[in-house]
Structure 1
């Protein structure tokens, strides 16, 4: 079992004929993901890496029974691509695209929730359920099947932490890179709730960073709703006062969002916080 993405997921790739779409389609196929269709308007009837390309999502669903999408469409067209996927009835959409205009995300994100559609991203590495399926751009070889659920605001930090976990023989049930934009789909709280319900997930890793209040809210949620062991890492603990991370969502204001406030919140919830990314494996060994 895993959350959101399993070996049964039938994925379509929006923007499959672009450089990024083509490259990562090959990588996802190599991992074993069931990539059943691609969508690029005007390119219907062609193939990319053996995957049939359609002009629109509705045709791709009708012909190939796709039930999830990954979006590599350039930022100016990303909103229309996501809305097309929502209106076609897809229940999982992974938006890799970065630099999507704030107001575009503000338009499609609430709409997705009214339609019962789960969005991961935008500006994220995606999601992987090791040994089953990958809808994202993460390096496959560092992941291993296991019982640790991972939710992260940072892509590259996820890779470093997961690599250390795998080397220490702590495999993963599902890893969700939620992205660092101000407006995102699945947030840390929602990911925690999914892992709490998932029987295959026995422990949880939260990777946060300075800016915003996601980690403080997660700590409060963990205290009230999560019974499984949780460990955390907060990026930016050594940043100078007033410094913020590169993510648009990493904004510190009114004393909230600092590394200190996040670490205190986690510790108050009984969540040990690693000093360095590689220390996550050591904390897991103590759970």
Structure 2
């Protein structure tokens, strides 16, 4: 299994006629994603990559049947409109790719998603990838590169960094270990699908044996992962790496979601919380794959890893 996306999920792209949407739709198709159509208002009736284009998500659903996920490739000021349209049409999972989406727009999307029982990844995300199955967004780059770099296996990755998501996956696979799913939750201060959400999803996935969390300074997402472990909703081994160790209060690191305000969101506070919860914290990024190998290597052959 995998979380969020696999080869059976029926996916559309909102903004498919735009330059980015068109390019990324091709990559998703090439990787094996079950892309069934696209939406661009005013472009209904066009065809992109042999896929039908519709004026609205509701129209696409009437013509195509159930839609499991929508990847939204539209400019930041249009993300709220596109996301709410998909949510009201009954799409249960969205990937919001754009960065700089206005905060109040994101909060409105959060509210409507809760009302409709839907989830969204992002904004400011490169997406989600389940190796050898499917990809949402632009995780892994070119399809052929993703096939070469990533393979299926027992490690789930939940990350606040798009670049480090792929890099961690690459080094884990290079060590001879595969991945169940890689989730970039997004780089903004408010995101729909958090690190804790991802870790708890991995807990329920029978194919995921170890979870890797790649965090950063700012927000309390990493502390929430620690709370999940302490509270018992996560029992599988968790390895964590936190970026921004040298950043001081008031420093902006990487992107909007990684800023320290006063004593909140500091590297030290996150690391202390994670270690108190029994999470394996590595101080160097290059130690992630080594720690994964170490934990997997301690089990008897054929026995699953337990926390």
TM-score in same-fold range (> 0.5): yes
Give the 3-state SS of the residue equivalent to 1:220 in structure 2.
helix
CA distance in 2: counterparts of 1:159 and 1:194, whole angstroms: 19
How has the CA–CA distance of structure 1 residues 104 and 241 changed in structure 2, closer, same or farther, with 3 Å as cutoff? closer
CA distance in 1: counterparts of 2:173 and 2:286, whole angstroms: 11
Note if 1:280 corresponds to 2:288. Answer: yes
Determine the structure 2 residue equivalent to 1:229: 237
Determine the structure 1 residue equivalent to 2:170: 163
Determine the structure 2 residue equivalent to 1:181: 188
Note if 1:250 corresponds to 2:225. Answer: no
- Higher mean C-alpha deviation, range 239-248 or range 216-225: 239-248
Runs of 4+ in 1 over 6 A off after TM superposition: none
Q: Could you tell me whether the CA contact under 8 Å between 2:15 and 2:38 is conserved in 1?
A: yes
Determine the structure 2 residue equivalent to 1:37: 37
Determine the structure 1 residue equivalent to 2:19: 19
Superimposed CA distance per residue, residues 54-101 of structure 1 (whole angstroms, 9 cap, x where no aligned partner): 111111112222221000011111111000000000101111111111
Note if 1:218 corresponds to 2:232. Answer: no
CA distance in 2: counterparts of 1:87 and 1:242, whole angstroms: 39
CA distance in 2: counterparts of 1:258 and 1:282, whole angstroms: 25
Determine the structure 2 residue equivalent to 1:207: 214
Shift of 1:240: 4.4
Note if 1:100 corresponds to 2:101. Answer: yes
Q: Could you tell me whether the CA contact under 8 Å between 1:96 and 1:121 is conserved in 2?
A: yes
- Higher mean C-alpha deviation, range 77-86 or range 271-280: 271-280
CA distance in 2: counterparts of 1:69 and 1:26, whole angstroms: 15
Give the TM-score of the pair, scaled to structure 2: 0.90
Task: For structure 1, list consecutive stretches of 5 or more residues without a partner in the other structure.
Answer: none
Q: Could you tell me whether the CA contact under 8 Å between 2:5 and 2:130 is conserved in 1?
A: yes
Q: Could you tell me whether the CA contact under 8 Å between 1:61 and 1:67 is conserved in 2?
A: no
Shift of 1:256: 2.2
Q: Could you tell me whether the CA contact under 8 Å between 2:249 and 2:262 is conserved in 1?
A: no
Task: For structure 2, list consecutive stretches of 5 or more residues without a partner in the other structure.
Answer: 141-145, 296-307
Shift of 1:176: 0.9
Q: Could you tell me whether the CA contact under 8 Å between 1:143 and 1:171 is conserved in 2?
A: yes
RMSD: 1.2
Give the 3-state SS of the residue equivalent to 2:45 in structure 1.
coil
Give the TM-score of the pair, scaled to structure 1: 0.96
Q: Could you tell me whether the CA contact under 8 Å between 1:39 and 1:54 is conserved in 2?
A: yes
CA distance in 2: counterparts of 1:246 and 1:278, whole angstroms: 19
Give the 3-state SS of the residue equivalent to 2:286 in structure 1.
helix
Q: How many residues get paired?
A: 287
Give the 3-state SS of the residue equivalent to 1:119 in structure 2.
strand
Shift of 1:241: 5.0
Shift of 1:126: 0.7
Determine the structure 2 residue equivalent to 1:127: 128
Shift of 1:275: 2.0
Q: Could you tell me whether the CA contact under 8 Å between 2:165 and 2:183 is conserved in 1?
A: no
Give the 3-state SS of the residue equivalent to 1:232 in structure 2.
strand
- Higher mean C-alpha deviation, range 148-157 or range 249-258: 249-258
Shift of 1:283: 0.7
